[in-house]
Chain A
């Protein structure tokens, strides 16, 4: 099996989502406004500004070079978007005005859809969080913290329990979720939005 055909088989089902487009084009279509992804001049200001860059497989600059070289599978396998802390430092410093943070979010959505395992914890956290939002209309810190900690941070449970107790006794956490009144309306909006996203 050649390297090229190996990559083709590795591409798997996500290639269908691109609908014949490159991953760059797909990201541009799904990112609101003008992402300017193709404008990268490889200056590296983004990576040099990134507070969590040391934990990333690739700096944003490297990731954009990989996108341009059509190393799409490698881009999806990179943990980089999941270590983005949303500080927008790269975005405001980029001399080409590339919406780097927004692009990271869009890349995450594809990794989520494809169940990429490298992003397990972060993906589960996001999905658990929005699961509560979709069920109640509001976030639910207590449910999120307990479910997420039990599943992903068993070694730090003593610390988490201590923290949770502190939050409860200090009146900073509720054990019951708050539900909005017009939840049905919100759910209709969200399911229509998901249909529209799937068409993109």
Chain B
């Protein structure tokens, strides 16, 4: 099946492993991804804080490009949750609000572009892989079941909320990623924090706010004895992976909860090498977890362990293999 494809800035930079792994499994899932020509940034959560009309016009340009390329399909795949939501919101509000639609199209006309509301269907990669490709097809391609790996499915926020186009069944307790990971043979825990926030851009703005939200997630996954978190969002991956050491330093804890993309786990179950899937580019070492399913990773992760400081916040210690947490 053909899909228009909007990778988004992160997929080419901090979330390169997500793009690599998605591309690796593209053929086995019988998908053909047609990248939008000369797409621009979606504005993340920043542009709409500065100028509402410009933020939607920025996204409108991508929708207009998609419309001009929509000959074989009108489904636009966005694997990044922030890109997905920005595209979906502009698409949705242009359909719902006539005055807003006129304003965005007037802005687009300055670049000799137009977007016809309803002409493009914006969907997240998880939605497409689960609903269009389907679990049956996925099971057929599994050659190396992930038996013995205990995972926590982690959705984050923007894929399921506010879900303006109603592509998911529950804004707080979805289950599709769990079903998909089970189809790969993994043991999936019932993770109560599956749609809690990773803190988004707060790592850059207020460390105290961000580290607490990161701590809750890694604490939860650790207490449920998950081997790793599995995500579908570049922002969630970056925060939990790259800022886990900072959060540990802040709270004087020693969590080591790896986080990989769901496409990387699909790839492993399909028999691809870890390196082809971008595994080995993490900050938190996933090798102990992957050893349980006999996956070797050549690359050494960046050492992120810091010497503990005595003046860290006192935390009540619970008995258990990983200690910390309240």
Contacts and interface: CB of A to CB of B under 8 A. Distances in A.
Interface of A: 30-34, 51-52, 55, 81-83, 85-89, 91-92, 99, 101, 105-106, 108-109, 112, 121-123, 125-127, 129-130, 133, 137-139, 141, 145, 148, 153, 156, 159, 162-163, 165-167, 169-174, 178, 180-182, 185-186, 188-194, 196-197, 200
Interface of B: 9-10, 12-17, 38-41, 43-54, 56-58, 60-61, 89, 92-93, 96-97, 100, 103-104, 106-113, 157-158, 161-163, 171-172, 196-197, 199-202, 204-209, 213, 242-243, 245-246, 249, 281-283, 301-302, 304
Contacts of A33: 92-93, 96-97, 100
Nearest to B90: A32
Contact of A112 (B50, B53, B89, B205): B50
30 contacts: A32-B89, A33-B92, A51-B213, A55-B206, A83-B202, A85-B201, A86-B158, A105-B52, A108-B49, A109-B48, A121-B205, A122-B206, A125-B201, A126-B46, A129-B46, A133-B40, A133-B43, A141-B9, A141-B13, A163-B243, A163-B283, A170-B283, A170-B302, A172-B281, A173-B14, A182-B111, A189-B110, A190-B107, A191-B110, A193-B58
A192 B302 contact: no
A122 B50 CA distance: 11
B208 A55 contact: yes
Given A87-B161, A180-B38, A196-B107, A125 B205 contact: yes
B246 to A, nearest CB: 6
A190 B56 CA distance: 9
Nearest to A124: B205
A200 B53 contact: yes
B41 A91 contact: no
A169 B13 contact: no
B53 A197 contact: yes
A30 B56 CA distance: 12
A148 B203 CA distance: 12
Nearest to A128: B46
A172 B14 contact: yes
Contacts of A178: 9, 12
Nearest to A79: B206
Nearest to B234: A172
B164 to A, nearest CB: 9
Contacts of B199: 51-52, 85
A129 B47 CA distance: 8
A187 B177 CA distance: 39
Contacts of B49: 81, 105, 108-109, 112, 122-123, 126
Contacts of A121: 204-206
A170 B50 CA distance: 32
Contact of A189 (B45, B113, B242, B283): B113
A130 B52 contact: no
Contacts of B281: 170-172
B50 A130 contact: yes
Given A192-B106, A196-B106, A85 B54 contact: no
A194 B53 contact: yes
A137 B40 contact: yes
B97 A32 contact: yes
A139 B83 CA distance: 12
B201 to A, nearest CB: 7
Contact of A185 (B56, B111, B158, B282): B111
Given A86-B158, A189-B58, 4 more contacts: A126-B47, A153-B207, A180-B40, A185-B111
Identify which of A86, A109, A174, A196 gathers the most chain B CB atoms within 10 Å of its CB: A86
A194 B171 contact: no
B107 A192 contact: yes
B38 A189 contact: no
B68 to A, nearest CB: 12
Name which of A105, A106, A130, A153 has the most chain B CB atoms within 10 A of its CB: A130
A189 B201 contact: no
Contacts of B197: 51-52, 85, 87, 89
B95 to A, nearest CB: 10
A120 B187 CA distance: 45
A75 B234 CA distance: 33
Nearest to B171: A92
A163 B162 CA distance: 32
B41 A133 contact: yes
Nearest to A140: B9
A130 B43 contact: yes
Contacts of A82: 205
A30 B283 CA distance: 41
Given A55-B208, A112-B50, A193-B54, A186 B111 contact: yes
